[in-house]
Structure 1
Amino acid sequence: MLYRLTKIFGGPVLHLLWPTTVTGEEHVPRSGPAILASNHLSIVDSTFLPLVLPRQVRFVAKSEYFTGNPATAMWMRATGQISIDRQSPTAAQDMLDTAAQVLKDGELFGIYPEGTRSPDGRLYRGKVGVAWLALATGAPVIPVAMAGTDKVLPIGASVPKLGRVKVQIGKPLTFTGSERSARDRRRVTDEIMAAIGALSGQEYVESYTPSRNKDK
């Protein structure tokens, strides 16, 4: 109920203050599981993407967002995000197990293969968790490219600025292979990142996002 109310009242405000163009919405299935794999420019990516789609999108977010600022905690719950303790030694597998259950329940799961926000607007090498998830569940992967969100709320900023946002959604991708195979996981991840890059037009970096950026 809180999620629906957030979309009803938050959606129009979002479009009024931050005019958002969405293309490719028809590629998101009306029912059934799918993985939305997006580039990651700003913390507000997880706000814009769910509010421009008719279906709920579930993300995982670090547990601090749910125990700190009450407004932030409420917003995280309202937009369907799932708390994960990133300090746990099993955090990565816990996230994947949670995501797999979301997909088994027939829902949409959103993931940022880069693992954290880009510090400079470039697209960094993807981590293989997205491939494990796709191969383990058989769910299609839908590439997504966000643009403009880094201008709305840059890294280090706490107050959003007015600006335009663009969301491009690509055609679903399906893959064969085994989630147990490192070669398959790397191959699938690279194909997903190539699809995201084709949508976003970002310069691609053959290395992981710098670890100093640990917020999300």
Structure 2
Amino acid sequence: MREPVTTTYQIGSRLFEAGFRALAIDLRSIGHENIPTSGPAVIASNHIGYLDFAFVALAPPRPRREVRFLARKEFFDQPVTGHLLRKMGQIPVDVHGDAMAAAAQAGAALAAGELVGLHPEGTISPSFVPRRAKSGAVRLADAAGAPIIPTAVWGSQRLLTKWRPARPPRHITVMVRYGEPFFPTARTGMARTREMMERIEELLAENQASYPQRPGPPPDDWWVPAHLGGSAMTPEEAEARLDAQTAERREKRRGTPTV
């Protein structure tokens, strides 16, 4: 039996969906039948845009289950968006601070039989190629005895992503593909995390191969990974810039000017 959705979650979902309609987003859900109708599960998705959590949670057609998604603390700092996300039961994550509070909330939600969504990479991949993942998704699933639902989103980077102007175009297709729930079988947490990411990468490749919209010539192909012929930065370039950004933030927190 499918769990009931609270009125607050329904209202919040409709507000997000109204925003999607205003931008004429073509949101496509593939494999949503793999989401169990009850019981705990961890939805683990790649991360290419700031709105990934909303697309992953809301792509399945109604009736859908509530998803307690771990989202960046910055979203919760906004008066309107933050209020809405809290009312919907979403979980703030301070990616530059202590993530234990978010992990505790996610663990409690799984223990209560709920769905928890997160991005194992921890932050957006500016190359749009999955980054090396952290083990949080696997550790949460292990502790709760819950399956992992590998998930891949594609197209969301064209709307709002890292280091790009916040000028979302209209009529963009966003695809969300949900894989079959599984329990990683590798012996170590690192190996189980790789097992999870391999499944996510397979689903992502399917999305990319079937994506209905083609890029224009450079620089309009900025959203296509370099290995697929696009002009997005390479994973190596992206990691170098992320490392530099992290170092700059660390120095600012210390109150020391960067050289």
Fold conserved between structures, TM > 0.5: yes
C-alpha separation in 2, matches of 1:86 and 1:120: 19
The aligned counterpart of 1:199 is: 203
Amino acid in structure 2 at the alignment position of 1:155: K
Deviation string, structure 1 residues 96-116 (Cα, Å, up to 9, x no partner): 222111101111100111110
- The reply to whether residue 173 of structure 1 matches residue 182 of structure 2 is yes
Q: 1:134 aligns with which of 141, 153, 162?
A: 141
Amino acid in structure 1 at the alignment position of 2:11: L
Deviation string, structure 1 residues 15-73 (Cα, Å, up to 9, x no partner): 57101111100000011100000000011001111122311111223434323x31221
SS of the counterpart of 2:188? helix
The aligned counterpart of 2:162 is: 155
SS of the counterpart of 1:41? coil
* Alpha-carbon distance change, 205 to 173 in structure 1, aligned in 2, over 3 angstroms: farther
- Among the aligned pairs, what percent are the same residue? 34
* Alpha-carbon distance change, 41 to 86 in structure 1, aligned in 2, over 3 angstroms: closer
TM-score by length of 2: 0.70
The aligned counterpart of 2:46 is: 39
- The reply to whether residue 73 of structure 1 matches residue 82 of structure 2 is yes
The aligned counterpart of 1:110 is: 117
Deviation string, structure 1 residues 168-215 (Cα, Å, up to 9, x no partner): 0000111357xxxxx611011000000000000277969x9534567x
- The reply to whether residue 7 of structure 1 matches residue 13 of structure 2 is yes
Deviation string, structure 1 residues 148-177 (Cα, Å, up to 9, x no partner): 000011224334322110000000111357
Instruction: Give the count of matched residue pairs.
Output: 206
Amino acid in structure 2 at the alignment position of 1:140: P
SS of the counterpart of 1:36? strand
C-alpha separation in 2, matches of 1:167 and 1:84: 22
C-alpha separation in 1, matches of 2:167 and 2:79: 16
Amino acid in structure 1 at the alignment position of 2:152: A
Moved more, 136-145 or 153-162: 153-162
Amino acid in structure 1 at the alignment position of 2:196: I
The aligned counterpart of 1:188 is: 192
C-alpha separation in 2, matches of 1:57 and 1:195: 21
The aligned counterpart of 1:164 is: 173
Tell which structure's C-alpha radius of gyration is larger: 2
Contact in 2 for aligned 1:47/1:79 (Cα 8 Å): no
C-alpha separation in 2, matches of 1:85 and 1:12: 28
* Alpha-carbon distance change, 186 to 153 in structure 1, aligned in 2, over 3 angstroms: same
**RCO greater where, 1 or 2, for CA within 8 Å and sep 6 or more?**
1
RMSD after superposition: 2.7
Contact in 1 for aligned 2:16/2:54 (Cα 8 Å): no
TM-score by length of 1: 0.83
